[in-house]
Amino acid sequence: MCWPGVHLGGSSPAWTSPEPLVSGTACAQACQMEGCNHWRLTLSGYCELYDASQFVTAPYGRNDSTVVGCFAGVTATFQCLPTGVAISYTQGTASSGTTVSACAADCKADSLCTGFTLYDNAGSPYCQLHRWSFVGGAGQDGPDANVVQVCLRTHTLRQLLDSSQVGPNSPVAPPQPPGGSWLVVDRKAAKWEHDEQQCLRKTFMSAAKRTLWATW
């Protein structure tokens, strides 16, 4: 689960690559080997791994020095932030939800919903669905006493390309998110991707070994 140009939080990474890596694929592999809650690839090419204690701690949100920020692994339909933590977003379709579960149901019913924010305005809860999370003039990146919960939807590519959203003969990609794009590859690219990952893994391990010898 990744966002282009978004840092998911933290100023003290648990691990930083000893030298710039080739791509986010190598950073994801480093997270898998080292263990992390979330990671980011910086504009200078370095991979930074963060533990759960750094999640949505300052700075987080849109970040000019971040190429992409990702959660290490997501298994649920929504990834929810701690109570009182807000993010910026672009407002989506209207929701009548007044609870987290009702907001989630409205979001799941909308194929373009990327998350939601549940507010409590002096005892009157209301829900705002996100058209884009982390992008837009609604909300803020930081604490908000009126926010009950922010939850991010863990879209899959299958959901984003749901055939119910296009005509039977219309191979249309979903609209591009501001600041990024969806990448769709066919099966012919599978072998190339596998070979690239193996190469990136060898590059990463080689860099790690050189650092180990240099600090021995």
Q: Are residues 63 and 81 in the same domain?
A: no
Cβ atoms of 43 and 66 within 8 Å: the answer is yes
Q: Can you give the pLDDT of all 216 residues of the chain as single tens digits?
A: 899 999 999 999 999 999 998 788 999 999 999 999 999 999 999 999 999 999 999 999 999 999 999 998 777 899 999 999 999 999 999 999 999 999 999 999 999 999 999 999 999 999 999 999 999 999 999 999 999 999 999 864 444 444 333 333 333 333 444 444 333 333 334 444 445 445 545 554 554 444 334 434
CA distance 194 to 201: 11
Rounded to whole angstroms, the Cα distance separating 30 from 113 reads 31
Q: Can you give the CATH number for the domain in which 58 is found?
A: 3.50.4
Token pair for 87:
């993010």
Identify whether 54 is part of a domain. yes
Q: Which residues pair with 68 in a beta bridge?
A: 4, 41
Q: Where are the beta strands (DSSP E) in 72-175?
A: 78-80, 85-91, 115-121, 124-133, 138-143, 147-153
**Cβ contacts of residue 47 below 8 Å, gap of 6+?**
16, 17, 21, 26, 27, 30, 39, 40, 41
CA distance 87 to 77: 18
Give yes or no: residues 1 and 63 share one domain.
yes
The reply to whether 100 and 136 lie within a common domain is yes
Residue 96 included in any domain: yes
Same domain for 69 and 128?
no
Q: Measure the CA angle with vertex 173, ends 169 and 175; round to 5°.
A: 130
> Do 57 and 84 share a domain, yes or no?
no
- Asked, for residue 202, whether it belongs to a domain, the answer is no
Expressed as residue numbers, the domain containing 44 is 1-73
- Cα atoms in the Cβ-side hemisphere of radius 13 Å centred on 176: 7
**Whose structure tokens read 């909308």?**
110
Half-sphere exposure of 14 (CA within 13 A, CB side): 16
Domain count for the chain? 2
DSSP letter, residue 189: G
Predicted local distance difference test score (pLDDT) of residue 202: 54
Query: Does residue 214 form part of some domain?
Result: no
Last residue of a domain, one of 73, 106, 130: 73
Read off the tokens for 138.
Answer: 């609604």
Q: What is the pLDDT of residue 210?
A: 45
Contact call for residues 24 and 177 (beta carbons, < 8 A): no
Helix and strand numbers (H, E) in the chain are 4, 13
Which pLDDT belongs to residue 75?
75
